[in-house]
Amino acid sequence: MMPNTIEIPKELSPWQETILPNFDRRKVFVLPGAFYSQIVALMATCNMEKADTIKEADIVVFAGGADVNPALYGQRPLRETSWHAERDDVEVAAWVEATERNKILFGICRGAQFLHVMNKGQLWQHVEGHGGSNHVIVDVEDGVTVVANSIHHQMLMPNEDLEIIAVCKQQVSKTFLADGADGGADELEIEAGSYAEDRSFFVQGHPEVGSDTYRSWCMNRLLEHVLDWEDFDREDLDSEDEEGGEL
């Protein structure tokens, strides 16, 4: 595990935007999970088109639901943990295909935890205070705050490769349980992050059933990552073209 500290901007301002960004008809494939129809509706509202396969998609969404099998991150299950092995198998296969095809990945709640695990991350198998109440989170990059919803009992542990994007403004849970690694009362509560390696961005809350401001913040941050990764792809192609044209 990494240290439990992260630099939070001294000056913070609330995210007040409610308008959802325009994804310009990019194709999205949503894997089955919690609030599936609401996720599909949110993507459509952001001007995305439904893809029937991962191959057709620009963005692949990993939704909420049951816990991730602790075996996937090398822990033994605690009594508070429950999972569906068949779903884990399906999503591991989907992640492998999506990364091989260089797709952009978006994780929601369990989807965030799953993408973290697929990048060799560890999870707190049980935390308290996150199972239904809203709380303020801080975007540590942009210095904004937004009220996020919270419907989960597991959370991400930090590591060297994870880009932490948002954390709880004030401590919510005093309990952090894992197999052989119980945490203190001041563990970092990660609310959003990304991995460049597999081009994944994820949030711990549920924008599909969240407030207008939380939906707007999540989807605008997703679009920022999409544009950044697409620009990187174009730069790679330009470099290849230049190299191919050299004598």
d(CA 54, CA 197): 18
Residue at token pair 């001294």: 10
Give the DSSP H or E segment for 173: none
d(CA 198, CA 119): 8
d(CA 107, CA 64): 8
Grouping H, G, I as helix, E, B as strand and the rest as coil, residue 111 is helix
Residue at token pair 């945490």: 183
Domain residue ranges in the chain: 22-123+155-167+189-236
Q: How do residues 110-144 score in pLDDT, each as one tens digit?
A: 999 999 999 999 999 999 888 878 999 999 999 99
Q: How do residues 4-15 score in pLDDT, each as one tens digit?
A: 678 899 999 999
Grouping H, G, I as helix, E, B as strand and the rest as coil, residue 139 is strand
Q: How do residues 65-110 score in pLDDT, each as one tens digit?
A: 999 999 999 999 999 999 999 999 999 999 999 999 999 999 999 9
d(CA 103, CA 231): 14
> What pTM, to 2 d.p., does this model score?
0.93
Assigned token pair, 50: 């439904």
CATH number of 22-123+155-167+189-236: 3.40.50.880
